[in-house]
Amino acid sequence: MKALSSPLFYLWLLSFLFFSSCQVTLAPAYDQAIVDKVTVNSELAMRFFAQVDGGTESDTFTLREPIYNQLIGSFESLKLQAKARPVPENAALDKINALLASKGTSPIAGDYPSAFAFDQIAATFAKMKNTDKTQGLKPVVLEAFKGQIEIYLDQAITYEGFLKR
């Protein structure tokens, strides 16, 4: 923050920007279709958790199986959609990463945290489905599955929302 008050910093920044390049793209494009699909499926997931609140018994698993399949399929598909966008690779990103490395900081991301989150949500629902089928879901187990999915949903929704420049 101290550097921001130095005129030399601005002179350096001015020269760096001017001689580097013009407008740059450092992150994937915003996709309204992905945001809409996440919204719909996160609502479906939360409604499902409300339905099974308190735990489940394995003998009623077949009633829930179609919802598990829908959720797993939707989040797998979201992962593919999120990954289908090209990650920009350009000289500006390389320069920023080199600058960060020289300051001992790790490079900024060139991948998709939302795609990873969607993949983990699908995997969590798959594990939950299998557990429900074989032994039912005890209240604490259900709470842990819900917590894991909520955390990944927050990561994905925040990141995708942030892409809207």
Partner 1 sequence: MSGQVASIISEIKTIASNVLERDIQEVRGFSERQVEAIAKQTAIIKKGVENGEIDDDLREFFLDGLEAMTLNFVNTLKGILAVTIEKLWNALIKFIYKAVGAVT
Residue 31: exposure state from Cβ atoms within 10 A (0-12, 13-18, ≥19): middle
Nearest Cα residue to 75 out of 34, 107, 103, 109 = 34
User: Cβ 36 to partner 1, closest distance in Å?
Assistant: 20
Nearer to partner 1, 43 or 154 (CB): 154
Stretch 121-160: interaction string toward partner 1, x if CB under 8 A: ---x--x---x------xxxx-xx--xx-xxx-xx--xx-
Nearer to partner 1, 55 or 67 (CB): 55
Interaction between residue 42 and partner 1 (CB under 8 A): no
Nearer to partner 1, 66 or 102 (CB): 102
Q: Which residues bind partner 1 (CB under 8 A)?
A: 4, 7, 10, 13-14, 17-18, 21-27, 92-93, 96, 106, 108-114, 116-117, 120, 124, 127, 131, 138-141, 143-144, 147-148, 150-152, 154-155, 158-159, 162-163, 165
